[in-house]
């Protein structure tokens, strides 16, 4: 679901910057303030002491690795991803490519159970692991979104999380597997750009919030500004959180939807696997800047739209494109509001 950038490292600056780490077990007022600052500065942060049981993660990782270890013919039974199901290299419908294979699900337990029949020899066990993990991610996402509401001092602190708790929410979940590869042409080449391939190309997530967990193999990078990429160190005990387009729109640009990518590095001795939960509102949810975020000094940046309208836009573009610009408010829109 992203556009791969050619020559991902050539003429780009890679810089190790200390990214925000937030301990969710700390005092609540401190946590909410740190989260708001991280969303403003980076649109990205790591949470520790998050309360997600390790056995929930371990069960899903075991089931996922078992699937990705199958032969290509066996895995293709679960595809093609249109958009749900198994996909390999081809991402989305507009020519996007990556060194990745993946499983994409919506978060409906019945749908997951049905799809698991083509994925696993033990479909009940697989669907239970996926649904259990998703439920834990939903709870964690809602906790973080409530903390954001408190940190922004909006009257309705559940304004964000309520969309995710809605039974009609359009959230989805993706398992990404970046197979270990060796580029034979680069065996004796010290050029760093030769040792990495684009796993998932540079993109912004369109939803409200993303929770990402990976194994102990690195590859994730964020771009706090054009031309600069910052590695996010692997930590299988923590979750990376990133702001999506919808949260940027609802905060009227106060929070930034972070651009990020995943590189598949041939120097790794094993494959990388990540689990991404995308917290998303119902299709008919109206996305509009909160009144508290709009002032004479900071007029409305985006016109109101529904998630369904925005989602339709995703399928018409390469998803590495900047989509929010298509929903920019004009002066007339602001005067009419």
pLDDT of 82-125, one tens digit each?
889 999 988 777 777 778 999 999 999 999 999 999 999 999 99
- Say which residue, 185 or 309, is predicted with more confidence: 309
C-alpha 157, offset from chain centre: 23
Bridge-based pairing of strands 228-231 and 44-48 is: unpaired
Distance CA 145, CA 134 (A): 16
Confidence of residue 6 (pLDDT cuts 50, 70, 90): very low
- Say which residue, 300 or 188, is predicted with more confidence: 300
Q: Per the structure block, which two tokens stand in for 84?
A: 């749900």
Distance CA 92, CA 83 (A): 7
Bridge-based pairing of strands 305-306 and 228-231 is: unpaired
In terms of Cβ atoms closer than 10 Å to its own Cβ (0-12, 13-18, 19+), residue 29 is exposed
C-alpha 72, offset from chain centre: 26
Task: Return the pLDDT at 9.
Answer: 52
Catalytic residues, by residue number, are: 272
| pLDDT tens readout for residues 20-72 | 999 999 999 999 999 999 999 999 999 999 999 999 999 999 999 999 999 99
- List residues bridging with 239 in a β-sheet: 47
Phi and psi angles of residue 58, each rounded to the nearest 5 degrees, phi first: -65, -40
| pLDDT tens readout for residues 181-240 | 655 444 333 334 445 688 888 899 999 999 999 999 999 999 988 889 999 999 999 999
pLDDT of 76 > 60? The answer is yes
Fold of 20-182+194-327: Jelly Rolls (2.60.120)
> Tokens 């900071």 label which residue?
298
Task: Return the pLDDT at 333.
Answer: 54
Sequence-distant (6+) residues with CB within 8 A of 3 are 94, 96, 201, 202, 203, 318, 319, 320, 321
Query: What pTM did the predictor assign?
Result: 0.91
Average pLDDT score, the chain: 89
| pLDDT tens readout for residues 126-151 | 999 999 999 999 999 999 999 999 99
Task: Return the pLDDT at 217.
Answer: 92
């Amino acid at each position: 679901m992203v556009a791969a950038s050619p020559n991902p490292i050539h003429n780009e600056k890679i810089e190790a910057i200390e990214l925000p780490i937030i301990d969710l077990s700390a005092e609540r007022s401190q946590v909410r303030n740190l989260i708001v600052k991280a969303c403003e500065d980076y649109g990205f942060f790591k949470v520790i002491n998050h309360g997600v049981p390790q056995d929930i993660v371990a069960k899903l990782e075991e089931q996922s690795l078992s699937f990705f270890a199958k032969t290509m013919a066996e895995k293709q039974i679960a595809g093609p991803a249109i958009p749900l199901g198994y996909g390999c290299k081809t991402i989305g419908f507009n020519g996007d490519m990556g060194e990745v294979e993946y499983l994409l699900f919506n978060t409906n337990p019945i749908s997951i159970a049905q799809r698991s029949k083509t994925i696993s020899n033990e479909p009940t066990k697989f669907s239970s692991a996926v649904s259990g993990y998703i439920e834990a991610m939903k709870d964690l996402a809602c906790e973080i979104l409530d903390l954001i509401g408190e940190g922004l001092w909006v009257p309705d602190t559940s304004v964000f999380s309520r969309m995710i708790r809605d039974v009609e929410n359009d959230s989805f979940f993706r398992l990404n597997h970046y197979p270990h590869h060796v580029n034979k042409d680069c065996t004796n080449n010290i050029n760093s750009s030769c040792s990495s391939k684009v796993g998932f190309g540079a993109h912004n997530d369109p939803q409200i919030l993303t929770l990402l967990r990976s194994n102990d193999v690195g590859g994730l990078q964020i771009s706090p500004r054009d031309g600069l990429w910052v590695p996010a160190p692997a930590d299988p005990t923590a979750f990376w959180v990133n702001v999506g387009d919808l949260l940027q729109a609802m905060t009227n640009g106060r929070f930034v939807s972070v651009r990020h990518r995943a590189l598949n590095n041939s120097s790794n001795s094993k494959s990388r696997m990540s689990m991404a939960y995308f917290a998303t509102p119902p299709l008919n949810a109206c996305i509009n800047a909160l009144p508290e975020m709009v002032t004479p000094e900071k007029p409305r940046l985006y016109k109101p739209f529904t998630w369904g309208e925005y989602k339709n836009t995703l399928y018409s573009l390469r998803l590495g494109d900047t989509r929010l610009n298509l929903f920019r408010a004009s002066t007339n829109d602001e005067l009419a509001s």
